[in-house]
Chain A
Amino acid sequence: MKIRVDPIVCDGHGVCAELFPERISLDDWGYPIVDDSPIDDRLLPHAKRAVEQCPVIALRLERALAGR
């Protein structure tokens, strides 16, 4: 799996970066910079929590396609 953010929906609350710092950092204005490399099973619970806790539902988990 990999994590994606919808940049139009995102309001820069920053919750995701606190919950999932392994893949999400914030830019100078507080908007998430997402590392979309594959997420292994160990990290998956953190990713799911970040997705669930986003106040505007801007994050989603997607299946990482082979070769991407």
Chain B
Amino acid sequence: MAVALRELETEGITLPRILAGLTNDLVEHRRRYPAPPLSARPLGDITTAIERSGLRGRGGAGFPTARKLRAVADRHSHSRHPVVVVNGSEGEPASSKDVVLLTRHPHLVLDGALLAAAATGAREVIVCIDETATKALHAVRKAINERARTEASSRVIRVATIPHRYVAGEETALIHWLNGGEAKPTSNPTRPFEAGVGGRPTLVDNVETLAHVAQIARHGPDWFREFGTDDEPGTMLVTITGAVTRTGVHEVPVGARISEVIAQAGGFLSSTKAGAVLVGGYFGAWLSIDQARRTSLTNEDLRPLGAGLGCGAIVVLPRTTCGLKETARILAWLANESAGQCGSCVHGLAAIAGGFANLNDGADLTRGDDTVDRLVRWAGQVEGRGACHLPNGAVRLLRSALTVFADDVERHLAGRGCER
């Protein structure tokens, strides 16, 4: 879990921001950030600042944070105080930015959560962390205890450990778990902002999102907008792995060119070094080297390519690794992470993973082109059919692989094998 702190300078404005001043010490943290306000309401100015900043959620969905804050605040009543849930489950295997923030900058995340609590009238903050993320759990518990000793607060902050499963971080799964159920998505049409933890209006925000909230409250929306694009402002954390020399978490402007981001991590987008780039992690999509060279890290740029920012995980596939083999591995993993609730997900993802493994192995060749046709048909059948978006993620990855690795598909189907 390396954290890259190389300073970047753009027209006199420097990075890092969210990765600057990393500390686990509250006194040191307070030299940079004032304590969040105690009174619950009215603090519309926090929400207004977030609205002006244009901050979007950094957990994957990219929803405007201010709209979520308002939706929860509007449902506040004296008998139903809202709850703020900090989503630090980070089930995406290619991402480690949330665990890095929780471990190395816990007070910034807690400040953001308390500001969100002030903005919505919440009295309780629940920080959800993967049960296996022991360092993050330790750092956050220590940070909460430190605050309890030295800072007055009218709000309760507690930690909830979350099962180490991919879908456990889906917001309805998280709520279900916190309410005593299994950490599996629900098909209840009621959304968490209406009735979440204990039936109360619940704000579920990603760890990085709340760290940005704390920075915007401190420095203002204009400062936040110094980086990024009009529609997708700010900086973002990316986790880069694969064919780079500095793997780990980097802070980059939203809208940075993918090639520059990879260069910052010591990688190089040449066809002799890299085979493709996975953007958005296991829940993302493959880009060819040519596509990656032309594309910036915004949803606006990535959407036409069937991709998205997701949680900012980037995997640079080394030239020496076969993209089909890697895709087969990820599809098998996604199929295994199905919560086992929706028939089309259980059977469909297993079929897709199995079919893709056959394609990769060059097995099942009596069916010839059928192998690809069936995969395409299954993709169409499982898309949008689950209680959560797991099937959609698998379909997105599958489709991008069939396009980006089309040459490899031909080679494997022709039984010519693959030396990688």
Given A27-B381, A28-B378, A33-B381 in contact, is the A7-B351 Cβ separation under 8 Å? no
Mask of B342-377 contacts with A, CB within 8 angstroms, 1/0? 111101100100000000000000000000000001
CA distance A28 to B186 in the complex (A): 24
Instruction: Give the distance in Å from the alpha carbon of A48 to the alpha carbon of B347 in the complex.
Output: 28
Q: Are A7 and B381 in contact (CB under 8 A)?
A: no
The answer to whether A6 touches B344 (Cβ under 8 A) is no
Interface code A17-55, partner B: CB below 8 Å = 1, 0 otherwise? 000000000011111010000000000000000000000
**CB-CB < 8 A to B186: which residues of A?**
8
Q: B330-352: which residues lie under 8 A (CB-CB) from chain A? A: 341-345, 347-348, 351
Cβ of A10 within 8 Å of any chain B Cβ, yes or no, is: yes
- Closest beta carbon of chain A to B389's beta carbon, Å: 12
Report yes or no: A11 in contact with B187, Cβ–Cβ below 8 A.
no
Instruction: Please determine whether B187 and A6 come into contact, CB atoms closer than 8 angstroms.
Output: yes
Task: Mark B151-191 against chain A: 1 for CB-CB distance below 8 A, else 0.
Answer: 00000000000000000000000000000000001110000
Q: Is A7 a contact partner of B378 (Cβ separation < 8 A)?
A: no
Contact A8–B344 (Cβ < 8 Å): no
**Could you say which of B186, B341, B342, B377 has the most chain A C-beta atoms within 10 Å of its C-beta?**
B342
A65 surroundings in chain B (CB, below 8 A): none
Q: A7-B341, A8-B342 are contacts. A31–B187 as well, Cβ < 8 Å?
A: no
Q: What is the bound-complex CA distance between A8 and B345, given in angstroms?
A: 10
What is the number of contacts between chain A and chain B, taking CB atoms within 8 Å? 46
> When the two chains form their complex, are residues A29 and B387 in contact, meaning their CB atoms are under 8 A apart?
no
18 A-B residue pairs with Cβ-Cβ distance under 8 Å, sorted by A, are A6-B187, A7-B341, A7-B344, A7-B385, A8-B342, A8-B387, A10-B342, A10-B343, A11-B343, A27-B344, A27-B382, A28-B347, A28-B378, A28-B381, A31-B343, A31-B344, A31-B347, A33-B381
- The answer to whether the Cβ of B386 comes within 8 Å of any Cβ in the partner chain is yes
User: B interface vs A, CB < 8 Å?
Assistant: 185-187, 341-345, 347-348, 351, 377-378, 381-382, 385-387
A66 proximal to B (CB < 8 A) = no
Contacts of A29 in B (CB 8 A): 343-344, 347-348, 351
Interface contact B381-A8, CB-CB below 8 Å: no
Selected from A7, A12, A27, A28, the residue in CB contact (under 8 A) with B187 is A7
A33-B385 contact, Cβ under 8 Å, with A7-B187, A8-B186, A9-B187 = yes
**Known interface pairs A7-B343, A7-B385, A29-B351; 11 further A-B residue pairs with C-beta atoms within 8 A, sorted by A's residue number:** A6-B387, A7-B387, A8-B186, A10-B342, A27-B344, A27-B348, A31-B342, A31-B343, A31-B344, A31-B347, A31-B385
